[in-house]
Structures are given as structure tokens and as C-alpha cells.
């Protein structure tokens, strides 16, 4: 659960070495690079407050890590790099550099043979949450779908219209799974050709504006609370308020 707005910071440090002889050398310190978030919660119910408090207690304040899903990010990595290793490819031809529906050249052509194929990405996140998946696509082929699932039979999907027009397809996953991973995929039952752009997965009910992602998507493993006390500002029955600070360092992930 998250309430907006969310305050987010990225912090970096550069190390500068000045030798007695020769030029100075500077480089980024990977052990200091970190991301930080401040989340403000207002009017939480008793049940919502209890869930937040139990997470804080289970993490022993800042002592233990947990997986944080950034509500402002695309949870998928490499949204414009469908040929990267993070995308699991089963029988799909992938060609990049095509015009996309936003006026750029970040589109991809996907092709499958008679046996069909699947292009997918998995994230380590609880399958009992609500997720919204989306992708732009156009195709003249039938039998092509976008799907979000838990890998154990619980899924939501939407078929692409075979009219060769760009559309942003959205699929809502209802959070009925029980696993610890969530999978986003585009699949075809047989021979197909389609253009796609901007796959996105978010931990919320509805799809938001497209967010380009890099090698680091919005899933931050081993994030920690950046505080030792969780303060409850109880302003009335079923009305808990608090602020939470979360910290993530790549070297500890």
C-alpha cells in the first residue's frame, strides 16, 4: 500500500585520488550509491496500520531487508531492450530500432513460427498483490496475447486485435495468487508477426503513464527501513498516520 505523492532521492559519491605524480583520478563509488524514499501515510485503517507495523517489527527496524516495489517505477527492467538477457525468449525473433507509437525508434518487431513462442520477464514479488500490465502493440495476426500470471495457474490476459493498429493493451491481475514471483509475457499460439513497444508492470489496480526502465526496474531487493522507530499519529478511530523512510544500496542487494 502506498499513498501519493512519494518523495524519492538518488545519492552518489565520487572518489577523487590525487597522486604526488600524475593526473588526479576520479571514479564513482558503487558502495555509496543509494536510493531513498519517504512515504507519507494518512488515515490508515487499523488493519492497514497493523500490516505496516508487522513489516516493521519483522524487519527489526533497519536491521533486516525486504523487497520494495517502487510505486513510481516500471517494475520490469529493460522496457526498451527486449533483446536483453532479462527477457526470457522461447521461440521469438526480436528486431529492434522500429518506429514506436510515441514518435521514437524504440519499437520491436516480434515474429514466431508455427510452434508459437513467448517473450517474458519475471520479477521476485508477492503474487497476492494487484498488478497492472500494459504494452503497446500492433499486429495483423490472431492468437497473440499479453498475460500477467503467478506461474501456478492464476493469470489475467488480453488478446491483441488483428487490425494492425497501434493500441496500448492493459491487463489487470487480481492478486489471487500465492507464489513469490510474478510474470509478464507476450505469447503467440502459432505463426505471428507483431510490433510492440513499452512493456510495463505496476503494483496497482490501474495502468499509469509509460515509464522507461533501465537495467534496474522498480523491484528493489534487500531494501531497509531508514529509521528505528515507527510512530503512529492516531487522530481518531481507524485513522492512523505516519511517515516511513526506506533506503536501498546496490552493493547490499
| pLDDT tens digits, one per residue of 26-57 | 877 766 778 899 999 999 999 999 999 999 99
Q: Cα dist. 30→12, 20, 34, 213, 249 in Å? A: 8, 25, 9, 20, 9
Model pTM score:
0.86
Tell me the HSE value of 62 on the side-chain side, using a 13 A CA sphere: 11
Long-range contacts of 64-68 (CB under 8 A, 24+ apart): 64/224, 65/221, 65/222, 65/223, 65/224, 65/252, 66/222, 66/223, 66/224, 67/124, 67/125, 67/219, 67/220, 67/221, 67/222, 67/223, 68/37, 68/219, 68/220, 68/223, 68/246, 68/248
- The ranges of the chain annotated as CATH 2.60.120.260 are 88-202
170-187 per-position pLDDT tens digit: 999 998 878 899 999 999
Look at residue 17 in the predicted model and tell me its pLDDT. 80
pLDDT over 90, % of the chain: 76
Residue 89 pLDDT > 90? yes
Q: What is the CATH number of domain 88-202?
A: 2.60.120.260
Amino acid at each position: 500500500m502506498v499513498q501519493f505523492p512519494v518523495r524519492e532521492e538518488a545519492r552518489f559519491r565520487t572518489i577523487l585520488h590525487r597522486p604526488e605524480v600524475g593526473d588526479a583520478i576520479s571514479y564513482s563509488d558503487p558502495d555509496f550509491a543509494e536510493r531513498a524514499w519517504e512515504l507519507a501515510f494518512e488515515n490508515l485503517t487499523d488493519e492497514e496500520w497493523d500490516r505496516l507495523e508487522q513489516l516493521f517489527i519483522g524487519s527489526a527496524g533497519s536491521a533486516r531487508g525486504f523487497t520494495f516495489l517502487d510505486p513510481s517505477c516500471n517494475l520490469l527492467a529493460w522496457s526498451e531492450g527486449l533483446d536483453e538477457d532479462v527477457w526470457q525468449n522461447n521461440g521469438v525473433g526480436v528486431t529492434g530500432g522500429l518506429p514506436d507509437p510515441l514518435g521514437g525508434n524504440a519499437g520491436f518487431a516480434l515474429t514466431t513460427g508455427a510452434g508459437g513462442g513467448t517473450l517474458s520477464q519475471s520479477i521476485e514479488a508477492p503474487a497476492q498483490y494487484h498488478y497492472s500490465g500494459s504494452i503497446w502493440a500492433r499486429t495483423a495476426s490472431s492468437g497473440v496475447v499479453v498475460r500477467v500470471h503467478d506461474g501456478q495457474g492464476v493469470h489475467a490476459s488480453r488478446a491483441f486485435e488483428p487490425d494492425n493498429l497501434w493500441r496500448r493493451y492493459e491487463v489487470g491481475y487480481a492478486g489471487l495468487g500465492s507464489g513469490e514471483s510474478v510474470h509478464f509475457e507476450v505469447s503467440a499460439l502459432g505463426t505471428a508477426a507483431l510490433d510492440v513497444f513499452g512493456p510495463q508492470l505496476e503494483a496497482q489496480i490501474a495502468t499509469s503513464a509509460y515509464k522507461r526502465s533501465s537495467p534496474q526496474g522498480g523491484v528493489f531487493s534487500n531494501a531497509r527501513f531508514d529509521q528505528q522507530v515507527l510512530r503512529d499519529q492516531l487522530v481518531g478511530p481507524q485513522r492512523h498516520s505516519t511517515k516511513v523512510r526506506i533506503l536501498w544500496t546496490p552493493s547490499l542487494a
